[in-house]
Chain A
Amino acid sequence: MRYGFVCTLLLMAVTVSGCLMHQKITPVDYAWTLESVLNVDRNGAVKGPPKTPTFNAKQLFTWEQCAGTMNQPETLRLIQNQAGFYFITAPGFKNVYVFRPGDASLELINTIGIDPNGMSRPAFNQRVPFIQLIHGSKVFMLDEKGIKK
């Protein structure tokens, strides 16, 4: 009897806490109309207009093997898709990096390889539900998982 009562209490507690943890507003559309073109200073600090995240891109340049070199880009192109993932690339980058906003951080979710020789003038367009990447005459449709055929 006592055992049954304790079990019931535990079940109720788990149910209530579970309900609280999963409370959310849906659907939310995070899609930006337009990509942001952010300036990068010599120290890798990225700062754009209000409402765009401020961060340091040195780690990104290390991954792209252009940190501290003359090839370090002066601008980064950033766009957020409908699901809320950030897509980042820059002139000279070989990849597009997909991040998820974390607790005062950007968590790398995916690295999408585009051109092993680097992109000269990449640009993002919002094409819901995808992000369109323009690289010269080539066009790629991306989501957080990679290139969509």
Chain B
Amino acid sequence: MVSLFNHTNRQEKDHMKGIIRTVIVVGFVLLGTLAPLFAEVSDYERVERFKAEYNDIIKAIHTTGDQSEITLIAERIKRLSDEYEDFRAFLNDALYPQKYDDYIGELRRSLSRATQRVALTSEKVQLSNRLTQNRQENIRLSLTASKLAEENRTLKALINKLRLTREKDKETIDKLNTMVAELIEKVAEQEKLVAELKDKIEVRDRAVVGMTGELMNRFDKKITDKGKDKNIQLTVEKNEIFDIILSTIKENSDFVKSGFLQPDDLIFAKEEHDKLSDIWERFKPEFEAMHGKNTESAASMRKIQATLDDWANQIDSSPWKTLHALFTDNGFELANFQNGSEFKNAVVTFVDQEIQQNKRKRYGLFVETLWAEEIAPQWLPYLIDTQRLTPNETAEIEAKFREWAGLRDYLMWGIIGGVVVCMLVIGAVMARRRKS
């Protein structure tokens, strides 16, 4: 019994010894860990640590591209500020010629600029994605509209051929009516597609104009700040704008090149051209200031100017190309024309040739159908309003048509005269027979 008691007592003592040993070890470890916290620190090391942390944060600010990183950096700045707040007076002296407040202020300003930059980058990425989607949709619409326009031209040419045919039987008339109905439907579909395409282009251009305008304002504000990091940031943003402007101009130019545009579409294209030209004129000095007048930047600027000029040339030449295609599709081979004077000459020469070779044969199809139904209502007002065709040139063409129409009148009078003469002859012959 005594032995058992002694054994239990020894166990308890051992246990207590173990606890005391553990407490001592933990105490030493804690003391070793915490001791440096209470030790004196060299002021020099403190300043160096502050500067190192400052430089590290500045570096992080310059390389960040993420909102979550911005939040972490803001926390680091706060920690730094809290940690060194008690040494503010000392650091104000030690960091001479700058002050502690200058350092913390610069960190906060840099972070604010980085926040703007990240937000801007995010906006640009979103816009870029929207523009890419818009571009793909535009290409699809453009291809469909182009294909439809070609089909419509073929259909119109067939209809006109059928109209010329002499066999006006029921089957031909029915076929003609079906084709006309199909054409009306397809033209409506084409117009809808083009309208959709125009809407998308307009939305895209408005977005580009808005974004570049906003960036310009930001540049104007930032341009007063001096500093390597800001200049790098500006360079990146300006390069992105440059790419966006270039690709937008190219797309617009392609829209005009597609060749299915009506006068309204060309007016729209001209308005878009003027808008983006204006943006480019505003952006050009920034671009020049950014890159200087070296060979590479001069080449880039020439490239964008050439694309703009090409777009303007496409808008200028597009109506003439479309009109020429219209004549050709309907079986009228006119000489090429690039301006109002050449257009007038081509039409007048064509009518002269027709008068000589075919007389009145194709007058109806050319003047009454093609000219009176399509060209005069749709194209003439546009050509005159945009000063591509003068009223004198229009008057000359109309005079030539009257001459052609007059030739047709002589023929009619000839026929009527012939019929009258024939009737008179027949009447005379019949009267003589009665007498005899």
Contact = CB atoms under 8 A, between A and B. Distances in A.
B5 interface: no
A104 to B, nearest CB: 27
A125 B35 contact: no
Contacts of B12: none
A110 interface: no
A125 B42 CA distance: 6
B370 interface: no
Contact of B90 (A33, A77, A124, A137): A33
B93 A123 contact: no
Interface in A90-149: 123-126, 132, 134, 137, 139
B348 to A, nearest CB: 89
Most buried by B among A34, A124, A132, A139: A34
B35 A34 contact: no
B93 A134 contact: no
Interface in A21-54: 33-35, 37
Q: How large is the interface on B (under 10, 10 to 19, 20 to 34, 35 or more residues)?
A: 10 to 19
Contacts of A126: 43
Contacts of B40: 125, 132, 134, 139
Nearest to B38: A137
Given A33-B93, A34-B47, A123 B42 contact: yes
A137 B44 contact: no
B72 interface: no
Contacts of A124: 42, 44
B45 interface: yes
A37 B93 CA distance: 17
A60 B223 CA distance: 54
Interface string B40-62: 11111101000000000000000
A137 B39 contact: yes
B419 interface: no
B94 interface: yes
Contact of B35 (A35, A37, A123, A137): A137
Contacts of A37: 44
A115 B90 CA distance: 29
Contacts of A125: 40, 42-43
A77 B48 CA distance: 14
A55 B16 CA distance: 64
Q: How large is the interface on A (under 10, 10 to 19, 20 to 34, 35 or more residues)?
A: 10 to 19
A132 B41 CA distance: 11
Contacts of A134: 39-42
Most buried by B among A33, A37, A77: A33
Contacts of B90: 33
Contact of B94 (A33, A123, A132, A139): A33
A34 B42 CA distance: 9
Given A125-B40, A137-B35, A137-B39, A34 B45 contact: no
A34 B44 CA distance: 6
A77 B45 CA distance: 12
A35 B93 contact: no
Contacts of B42: 35, 123-125, 134
A65 B376 CA distance: 110
Contacts of B43: 33-35, 123, 125-126
A140 to B, nearest CB: 10
A123 B41 CA distance: 9
Contacts of A137: 35, 39
B204 to A, nearest CB: 57
Nearest to B43: A125
Nearest to A139: B40
A16 B330 CA distance: 123
B34 to A, nearest CB: 13
Contacts of B35: 137
B94 A34 contact: yes
A123 B39 contact: no
B75 to A, nearest CB: 29
Nearest to A134: B40
A48 to B, nearest CB: 12
A137 B36 CA distance: 8
Contacts of B45: 123
Interface string B89-101: 0100110100000
12 contacts: A33-B93, A33-B94, A34-B47, A35-B43, A37-B44, A77-B44, A123-B45, A124-B42, A125-B42, A132-B40, A134-B40, A134-B41
Given A123-B42, A132-B40, 11 more contacts: A33-B90, A33-B94, A33-B96, A34-B94, A77-B44, A123-B45, A125-B40, A125-B43, A134-B40, A137-B35, A137-B39
Closest 6 CB pairs of A and B: A123-B42, A33-B93, A34-B94, A125-B43, A134-B40, A139-B40
